[in-house]
Chains A and B, each alone.
Chain A
Amino acid sequence: AQRVTQPEKLLSVFKGAPVELKCNYSYSGSPELFWYVQYSRQRLQLLLRHISRESIKGFTADLNKGETSFHLKKPFAQEEDSAMYYCALSGSNFGNEKLTFGTGTRLTIIP
């Protein structure tokens, strides 16, 4: 079974401080990991996927297969980062391309 765990439901960080949103996963094969963001009253948007290794809006995430983690980080938080963040996993085999989401972390940036 595949599972994604986001231990923090709520996270508040001061503007300019570093941000780390935790994500751990369970999957028997080689998963693809994603971070999706949902700003207030907007649709889910892809923020990062581990295979692209890009930095989007200053966020980065490294896949750690040993710790089965895919934590999201940003060195200096900005007010516009306040949103709901979902970590998600997709399987690599045929018929398992669905996304399995974590429960999400609501990030609030304090001015």
Chain B
Amino acid sequence: DSGVTQTPKHLITATGQRVTLRCSPRSGDLSVYWYQQSLDQGLQFLIHYYNGEERAKGNILERFSAQQFPDLHSELNLSSLELGDSALYFCASSATSHNEQFFGPGTRLTVL
């Protein structure tokens, strides 16, 4: 077990709603990454935080935001949800920015 945890495992919600996905990195890991996996786009990088600060942004919509808290856990907030936001959202952590990334089990979001 890599130690990265994500909650919830599954989330079903309606269009227009807002949800928060949570990630707890492995103990001691300072970097947290968020990825989206969908059937049409594959695995896409969303955002990277290092020790509480945003390090890099990828293909993240303006409706999406994230933060990393002092205890190093991270939250991904998705608002004004659309059908196309349905996907698996993975969190990964690493000790530093250049170490191996360990992935969580993912949160499956279904927007109806």
Contact = CB atoms under 8 A, between A and B. Distances in A.
Interface of A: 32, 36, 43-46, 49, 86, 90, 94-104
B3 to A, nearest CB: 11
B106 A43 contact: yes
Nearest to A88: B43
28 contacts: A43-B2, A43-B4, A43-B90, A44-B90, A44-B92, A44-B103, A45-B103, A46-B100, A46-B102, A86-B43, A90-B98, A94-B97, A95-B56, A96-B56, A97-B31, A97-B94, A97-B97, A98-B33, A98-B48, A98-B58, A99-B33, A99-B43, A99-B92, A99-B101, A101-B44, A102-B42, A104-B42, A104-B43
A94 to B, nearest CB: 8
A43 B102 CA distance: 9
B25 interface: no
A57 to B, nearest CB: 16
B interface: dominant SS: strand
B56 A45 contact: no
Nearest to A41: B105
Given A43-B103, A46-B100, A49-B100, A103 B90 contact: no
A99 B42 contact: no
Given A49-B100, A99-B45, 11 more contacts: A36-B103, A46-B100, A46-B102, A96-B56, A97-B56, A97-B98, A99-B33, A99-B92, A102-B42, A103-B42, A104-B42
